[in-house]
A = this chain, B = another copy of it.
Amino acid sequence: MTSGSAFLLAARRCEIAELEELARTGELVGAIGRLVHGLQRERGISNVFLSSQGTRFASLRLKQIGECRQFEAEVQAQFHRLDTDPAQARNGARLFSRVAVVLHALAGLPALRARIAAQALAPREATAAYVKLVAGLLAVVFEAADSASDPQVSRALVAMFNFMQGKEFAGQERALGAGMFAAGAIDADDQQQWRHLIESQQACFQVFADFADAQVLQADLASRDATLAAEVERLRRLGCASRPGPLSTQLSAVWYDCATRRIDAMRQVEDQLALHLRELCEARIAQARAELRDQQALLQALAGEPSYALEIAAPYGPHLERSMVGLLQEQSRRLQAMSDELAAVRASLDERKLIERAKGLLMEHRQMTEDQAYKALRQMAMNQKRRLADVAEAVLSLADVLPAAAAAHNISARTG
């Protein structure tokens, strides 16, 4: 075999190695999904526990913490299975950096739980701490989706990330609604935030629908309960579409229960997504291996034929030259098509990147915390009735045009 053939086969082996790594990443994403779900429950339970001055959900909370510890151990094991040999990891720097943030937040979890147990924390503060931890875990999933080198697997990961993010907005909606109903009064700011959470969910689930596999979409459809959906919509209307005024505090438990049933149903879909991802990786690996075997056989056949040294650039003779050139062209074309498709899938992740960049700019130039920066963007979006990504783009383009200091000063003035 010529060294050209050896590199052709090496290119295939690279693809297989990348797919195997993606399969491991898929396992990690699955474990993160289970932990996030557990933490979403723990957040909701802790909220009720704190709001009721410790009279409700005390033992449920302990049980949930036990479950979360198990999910956390699984995620930790997956993190350590991640190859920390720097030469092995693809897109390692960004992924590992996200993992570092999660591990740091997980290290703070026992202290958070102790403060909740001691009721030394307002429900909102507790919720904010869990929201931050979940955001860190979702950022790992995002990075995995953004670095996948196979377009089909990338599609599955984009669908998964958006579903998980939509489910997290649903979890935040559960907490906000439970708090508003429990307070027995409507707050206009909370109502606006509630509407924002509903819109954010819809946007995520739309991207999920655009990228998910037909079988997963079927599972999503099957998981929907029309009666439950109607009840959720009724409570949403009472909570966030009514004029400010008193609310029945009894609605808090009703809302909490409905929202929880809705989120638990989403968990089933997430399982389907994880299953699909695993099957997809396995199928792609099997396919790539079969293609490698075919190519090896063909190249060996070519190498066995006599060569006609006087053909232009045809070391194998005219007939076999066409086979070899065909193989090389086919491989280039296939890799090119994959790369184009991958770019198209990844473009769906650009909106989130815009928002992250705009947040970073506000944090740096206006000395805001991450939370403040996000709230500032969201406020601009709500005031201007524009999409969050559009506001983020406006913020970034202003920063490009104006000098740094002036930009920081003008951002909210111009876009606000």
* A residues in contact (CB < 8 Å) with B: 2-8, 10-18, 76, 79-80, 84, 86-90, 92-105, 107-112, 114-115, 120-121, 125, 129, 132-133, 149, 309-315, 324-325, 328-329, 331-333, 335-337, 339-340, 353, 356-357, 360, 363-364, 370
Contacts and interface: CB of A to CB of B under 8 A. Distances in A.
B314 A92 contact: no
Given A104-B324, A107-B2, A314-B108, A360 B336 contact: yes
A70 to B, nearest CB: 18
A271 to B, nearest CB: 27
B312 A125 contact: yes
B309 A100 contact: no
B331 A360 contact: no
Contact of A79 (B3, B11, B92): B3
Contacts of A8: 96-97, 100
Contacts of A115: 310, 312
A205 to B, nearest CB: 26
Contacts of A110: 309
A111 B370 CA distance: 65
A87 B86 contact: no
Contact of A335 (B12, B97, B313, B314): B97
A150 to B, nearest CB: 10
A86 B311 CA distance: 33
B10 A96 contact: yes
Contacts of A111: 309-315
A336 B103 CA distance: 19
B331 A357 contact: no
A96 to B, nearest CB: 4
A129 B313 contact: yes
20 contacts: A4-B103, A6-B100, A7-B79, A7-B84, A10-B92, A10-B96, A11-B93, A14-B96, A16-B86, A17-B92, A18-B93, A100-B328, A100-B331, A104-B324, A104-B325, A104-B328, A111-B310, A111-B315, A115-B310, A336-B360
Contact of A357 (B112, B340, B353): B340
Question: Which among A100, A311, A337, A357 has the greatest number of chain B C-beta atoms within 10 A?
Answer: A100
Contacts of A328: 97, 100-101, 104
A86 B17 contact: yes
Contacts of A15: 93
Contacts of A149: 93
Contacts of A86: 10, 13-14, 16-17
A103 B9 CA distance: 13
Contacts of A96: 7-8, 10-11, 14
A54 B346 CA distance: 56
Contact of A12 (B3, B16, B93, B121): B93
> Which are the 6 A-B pairs with shortest beta-carbon distances?
A108-B313, A14-B92, A4-B103, A11-B96, A4-B104, A7-B100
Nearest to A136: B328
A3 B103 CA distance: 7
A328 to B, nearest CB: 5
B314 A100 contact: no
A33 B223 CA distance: 60
Given A111-B313, A312-B108, A313-B108, A10 B101 contact: no
Contact of A100 (B4, B92, B97, B129): B4
Given A5-B100, A11-B94, 6 more contacts: A10-B96, A108-B315, A111-B315, A114-B310, A115-B312, A329-B370
A2 B104 contact: yes
Contacts of A325: 104
Contacts of A364: 333
Question: Which among A10, A332, A339 has the greatest number of chain B C-beta atoms within 10 A?
Answer: A10
B7 A99 contact: yes
A97 B11 contact: yes
Contact of A313 (B5, B11, B76, B105): B105
